[in-house]
């Protein structure tokens, strides 16, 4: 078509789009694409309207997800379930129960009591946020909430330790009980640290792993210290 | 070596292609950034090649007399070169080229803050080692930090120190008051926040004040050496590391032991601070330079002594003897039983 135009113009005036006649698309450059229009595809969510199901089902689904993650923490294998479907319900429940159990220590002592509820809460959440920021700044590939989720769930062994400590303290508060508490807390501290490291260490650059693991160690150490020094009124 | 005669290189006056130029080997670490900021047109090809393959080693034209280990940056600051001679740092690894180009991201992006955490494990450990064992004649900043100040060390060393002091103080008080009948153990959690405030204030406000002071003096007297704010924060942060084992050893309830520990820690980290900041003030008025050094060391000492006084109760010497006697009494009593 451009050539016809050219011949009409006679060559005196420059034809429009002159250069286009020389343009050709070589055959070996593939032109790809899709022009299909999706016709009413059934996405899985459409069949799964949560509005019609009984409330019990909704709650049980979330509880099961949380429970599954608890199991993952207690037996830390390298599964990606904890990371993929993160949720913060588990950490919230653990943090609140830990803070409540630590609450009773020296509540009416004016100055130098144990940590109050708000202090434990802030330490756990602020500590988790700082560690997550630290690992992201060092070049980690994990997302913010995934990391919070892992750190929160790995408080579970320490919550169990707190429960055990309170029970032991109900029985006696002498040296023997202290040694029992010390052993339990140390074991749970090791478990927490190993569990969270197992989940988080892979997402870090290899020559900075120790830089990321150390704050996690410090975080669980502080929580363990608060558990160990808990003295009931 | 002799290759220090490399002339500060300035684009685009000297073309790359001439063979007799003298040599520089470009670092292959971050070639993309390297070329991005300061590449004149004739380097475009190289830049495109590098962009395609960031791990490739870049062009290297060797000076005949150069030690192959040396890496010289382009645009090398001749002032810093001279100063390194004076400080006696014979380190061959100078990648100062990247100094001005590192923090190029705007400050509201996450990448900007990532540049302050660009350290590997071995680098952090080296810096800690350098702060604890000062080498006479070597400058901590030049030797270890080398235009890559990090915030990881200062932040986490301060955090560790806060909890080390709080926990050690609690433990030490527990052991000191153990025998007393009226004593009831309290975890003393309030002291954590006090320790945190004190230590973080020291680690951030004192460097700020010192940096401001040095800038002010710099405007009056031309100093050879000038430090950026982050480098000063870095030095202070790492110099606090020695207090962590000191705090743990302060659990020992002997006054003499505690004071010896204070002296040793102060000598080690104080000397790191002095050796770092002396070159920055020595060109100044003699009295001001000396006053600055004395203030730096004095503040460092005040922190240590303040922590010792506030968090660690004084071991009561005349209580230890009766408790020892009481223990002997109980041992005898149990034996007779």
Q: Kindly report the pTM of this predicted structure.
A: 0.69
> Could you tell me if residue B52 is inside a domain?
no
Contact assessment for residue B142 and residue B89, using Cβ atoms and an 8 Å cutoff: yes
Integer Cα distance of B268 and A182 in angstroms: 35
Assign residue A33 a region: left if phi > 0, alpha if psi is -120 to 50, beta otherwise?
left
Is B119 in CB contact (< 8 Å) with chain A? Answer: yes
| Residue to substitute from A131, A133, A137, A177, interface B, most B β-carbons within 10 A | A137
> Could you tell me if residue B21 is inside a domain?
no
In this complex, do B188 and A112 lie within 8 Å of one another by their Cβ atoms? Answer: yes
> Could you tell me if residue B28 is inside a domain?
no
- pLDDT at position B263 is 93
**B109: nearest CA in chain A?**
A137
> Could you tell me if residue B114 is inside a domain?
yes
Considering only A28-32, A210-214, B59-63, B250-254, which range has the smallest mean pLDDT? Answer: B59-63
What the block records as the tokens of B337 is 């039983």
Q: What are the tens digits of pLDDT across the range A79-90?
A: 666 677 788 888
- pLDDT at position A198 is 84
Q: What are the tens digits of pLDDT across the range A44-61?
A: 555 567 777 888 888 888
- pLDDT at position A72 is 80
In this complex, do A222 and B113 lie within 8 Å of one another by their Cβ atoms? Answer: no
Confidence band of A115 (pLDDT split at 50, 70, 90): confident
- pLDDT at position A103 is 80
Out of B124, B159, B189, the one facing A218 most closely (by C-beta) is: B159
In this complex, do B189 and A115 lie within 8 Å of one another by their Cβ atoms? Answer: yes
Helix axis angle, B190-220 to B286-311, nearest 10°: 180
Contact assessment for residue B128 and residue B160, using Cβ atoms and an 8 Å cutoff: no
Out of A114, A138, A226, the one facing B117 most closely (by C-beta) is: A138
**B163: nearest CA in chain A?**
A222
Complex ipTM above 0.90? Answer: no
In this complex, do A111 and B120 lie within 8 Å of one another by their Cβ atoms? Answer: no
State the nearest Cα–Cα gap between A46 and chain B, in angstroms.
Answer: 37
> Could you tell me if residue B85 is inside a domain?
no
- pLDDT at position A202 is 79
Is B123 in CB contact (< 8 Å) with chain A? Answer: no
- pLDDT at position A15 is 67
- pLDDT at position A14 is 61
State the nearest Cα–Cα gap between A48 and chain B, in angstroms.
Answer: 38
Looking at the predicted structure, is the pLDDT value of residue A119 above 50?
yes
Of residues B285 and A212, the one with the higher pLDDT is A212
> Could you tell me if residue B186 is inside a domain?
yes
- pLDDT at position B6 is 46
State the nearest Cα–Cα gap between B117 and chain A, in angstroms.
Answer: 6
> Could you tell me if residue B10 is inside a domain?
no
**Among A194, A198, A199, A193, CA closest to A219:** A193
> Could you tell me if residue B91 is inside a domain?
no
- pLDDT at position A117 is 86
Domains: count for chain B:
1
Out of A105, A106, A208, the one facing B120 most closely (by C-beta) is: A208
**Among B17, B23, B20, CA closest to B5:** B23
Chain A interface residues (partner B, CB cutoff 8 A)? 105-106, 109, 111-115, 119, 134, 136-139, 207-211, 214-215, 218, 221-222, 225-226, 229-231
Q: What are the tens digits of pLDDT across the range A1-16?
A: 544 444 444 445 566 6
Cis previous bond, B224, omega within 30: no
Query: pLDDT means per 10 residues in chain B (337 residues)?
Result: 45 44 43 45 49 48 43 44 44 45 72 85 88 81 78 93 92 85 79 90 93 86 79 91 92 90 91 86 84 91 91 69 51 48
Q: What is the span of the domain harbouring residue B231?
A: 110-312
Q: What are the tens digits of pLDDT across the range A195-205?
A: 888 888 778 88
Q: What are the residues whose beta carbons fall under 8 Å from the beta carbon of A134, sequence distance 6 or more? A: A212, A215, B117, B152, B156
State the nearest Cα–Cα gap between A148 and chain B, in angstroms.
Answer: 18
Contact list, B187 vs chain A (CB under 8 Å): 105-106, 112-115, 226, 229-231
Q: What are the tens digits of pLDDT across the range A129-167?
A: 999 999 888 888 888 898 999 899 999 999 999 999 999
């Amino acid at each position: 078509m451009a050539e016809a135009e050219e011949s009409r113009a006679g060559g005196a005036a420059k034809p429009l789009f002159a250069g286009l006649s020389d343009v050709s698309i070589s055959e070996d450059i593939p032109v790809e694409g899709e022009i299909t229009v999706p016709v009413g595809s059934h996405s899985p969510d459409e069949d799964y309207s949560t509005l019609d199901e009984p409330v019990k089902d909704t709650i049980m689904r979330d509880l099961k997800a949380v429970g599954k993650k608890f199991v993952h923490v207690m037996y830390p294998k390298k599964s990606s379930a904890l990371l993929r479907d993160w949720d913060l319900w588990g950490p919230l429940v653990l943090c609140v129960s830990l803070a409540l159990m630590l609450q009773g220590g020296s509540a009416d002592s004016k100055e130098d009591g144990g940590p109050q509820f708000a202090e434990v809460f802030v330490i756990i959440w602020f500590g988790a946020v700082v560690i997550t920021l630290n690992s992201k700044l060092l070049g980690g590939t994990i997302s913010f909430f995934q990391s919070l989720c892992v750190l929160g769930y790995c408080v579970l062994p320490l919550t169990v330790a707190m429960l055990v400590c309170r029970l032991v303290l109900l029985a006696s508060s002498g040296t023997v009980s202290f040694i029992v508490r010390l052993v339990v807390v140390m074991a749970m501290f090791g478990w927490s640290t190993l569990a969270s490291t197992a989940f988080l260490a892979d997402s870090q650059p290899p020559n900075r792993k120790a830089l990321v693991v150390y704050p996690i160690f410090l975080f669980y150490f502080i929580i363990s210290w608060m558990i160990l020094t808990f003295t009931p009124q | 070596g002799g290759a220090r005669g490399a002339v500060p290189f300035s684009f685009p006056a000297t073309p790359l292609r001439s063979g007799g130029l003298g040599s520089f080997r470009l670092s292959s670490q971050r070639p993309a950034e390297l070329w991005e900021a300061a590449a004149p047109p004739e380097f475009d090809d190289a830049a495109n090649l590098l962009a395609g393959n960031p791990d490739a080693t870049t062009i290297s034209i060797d000076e005949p007399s150069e030690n192959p280990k040396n890496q010289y940056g382009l645009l090398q600051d001749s002032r810093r070169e001279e100063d390194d001679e004076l400080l006696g740092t014979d380190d061959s690894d100078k990648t100062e080229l990247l100094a001005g180009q590192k923090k190029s991201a705007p400050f509201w992006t996450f990448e900007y803050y990532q540049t302050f955490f660009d350290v590997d494990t071995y680098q952090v450990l080296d810096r800690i080692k350098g702060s604890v064992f000062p080498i006479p004649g070597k400058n901590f900043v030049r030797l270890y930090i080398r235009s890559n100040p990090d915030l990881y060390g200062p932040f986490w060393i301060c955090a560790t120190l806060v909890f080390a002091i709080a926990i050690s103080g609690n433990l030490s008080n527990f052991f000191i008051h153990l025998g007393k009948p009226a004593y009831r153990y309290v975890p003393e959690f309030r002291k954590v926040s006090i320790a945190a405030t004190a230590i973080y204030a020291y680690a951030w406000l004192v460097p700020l004040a010192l940096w401001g002071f040095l800038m002010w003096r710099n405007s009056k007297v031309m100093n050879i050496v000038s430090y950026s704010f982050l480098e000063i924060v870095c030095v202070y942060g790492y110099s606090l590391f020695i207090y962590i084992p000191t705090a743990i050893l302060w659990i020992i309830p002997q006054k003499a032991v505690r004071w010896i520990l204070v002296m040793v820690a102060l000598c080690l980290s104080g000397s790191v601070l002095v050796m770092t900041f002396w070159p920055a003030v020595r060109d100044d008025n003699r009295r001001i330079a000396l006053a600055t050094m004395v203030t730096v060391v004095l503040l460092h000492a005040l922190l240590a002594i303040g922590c010792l006084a506030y968090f660690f109760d004084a071991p009561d010497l005349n209580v230890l003897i009766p408790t020892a006697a009481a223990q002997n009494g109980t041992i005898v009593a149990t034996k007779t039983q």
